[in-house]
Amino acid sequence: MAEGSAPTVDTHVHLWDLEKWKYAWPTPDLKPLWRNFYPEDLQTAMGTTPVQNIILVQVLNHSTEETEWELDLCEKHPFLAGVVGWVDLTDPQLESTLDRLASSPYFLGVRYILDFEADDWLARSDVQNGLGLLERKGLTYDLLIRPRHFRYAKEVVSKFPKLKFVINHLAKPHIKDGVIEGWREGMEELSRFPNVYCKLSGMVTEADPDHWTVEDFRPYVQCFGAERCMFGSDWPVCRMANADYPQVHQVLSQCLDGCTNEQKEAIFGRNAVEFYSIKTLMS
């Protein structure tokens, strides 16, 4: 990738403050994660990687205050390009909440951590009413799903064709066990919907944390095509797999060694700019 030829974007980073909020996750036993992570820590971790723009993603369900904190961080740090926050999609006052958050140009869309809900949460009518409101307001929705959610994800992406969805962490395939059957078919089905993108993120934490290699990930990255995939570091969660920020960036770069420069520029930035409609810094 030629230096400065296209914006570079990391679409999936978390920051947190353990003194501000009580998180369901991370927990104290996760020693690499059990500390505060601020923008200054992120900049240090990024090192000499070419990444210039960061999208923050919510960690705390049931807190628009965390989203507001992240929006405030974007105001103070130019390399933070936007926030995928949290709202209660079932709240009767959802529209006013979205309007309030969207008064910030950094508010891009919404994510909800499904691990704390029944598998069919996406199929609920009140949830889908909320997704419809996101669609009407031109916001995005980050799909944090696992293979068991594929049937429900397919339902909502087909029901809301004008809502832009992006699958987080390739739907968390079982990379450690080398399982690709079932996952591959589910991803292929979702890829047929043009409003669905995929973050090439979170791979190292689904592999063997002590013995992963680049070859472990190659079968999983070619799921949507270069025009609808995006780089995400999932920092600092990647630390759980003994991977630092530059390593995660390098892993995906190596997995894409068969791609053209134009395809790499799309995955490492241009697709994110199109999907999230963000303003970016350039080198």
Beta strands across the sheet bearing 80-85? 9-13, 53-57, 80-85, 107-111, 140-143, 164-167, 196-200, 229-231
Contacts of 205 (CB under 8 A, 6+ apart): 234, 237, 238, 240, 241
Quote the distance between the C-alpha of residue 12 and its chain's center. Answer: 4
Residue 11 lies in a domain: no
Tell whether 186 is covered by a domain. yes
Q: Is residue 3's pLDDT more than 90?
A: no
- Please say if the pLDDT value at position 2 is more than 50: no
Q: Which amino acid is at 134?
A: L
Range of the domain at 133: 24-36+57-276
Share of the chain above pLDDT 70, in %: 98
pLDDT of 1 above 50: no
230 within domain boundaries: yes
- For residue 14, is it within any domain? no
User: CA-CA distance, 185 to 280, in Å (whole number)?
Assistant: 35
Q: What is the pLDDT of residues 242-260, one digit of tens each?
A: 999 999 999 999 999 999 9
Lowest pLDDT segment from 12-26, 213-227, 242-256 = 213-227
* pTM for the whole structure: 0.96
Q: Is residue 31 part of a domain?
A: yes
- Domain with residue 175: its CATH number is 3.20.20.140
Residue 283 forms part of a structural domain: no
Q: Is 145 a member of any domain?
A: yes
Q: What is the pLDDT of residue 283?
A: 52
Copy the structure tokens of residue 122: 């996406």
- pLDDT (tens digit, 9 = 90+) per residue, 164-198? 999 999 999 999 998 899 999 999 999 999 999 99
| Mean pLDDT, the chain, integer | 95
Residue 8 lies in a domain: no
How many separate domains does the chain show?
A: 1
User: How many whole angstroms separate alpha carbon 77 and alpha carbon 31?
Assistant: 27
For residues 187 and 153, is the Cβ–Cβ distance under 8 A? no
Q: Is the pLDDT of residue 5 over 70?
A: no
DSSP 134-198: HHHTT-EEEE---GGGHHHHHHHHHH-TTSEEEEGGGG---TTTT--TTHHHHHHHHHTSTTEEE
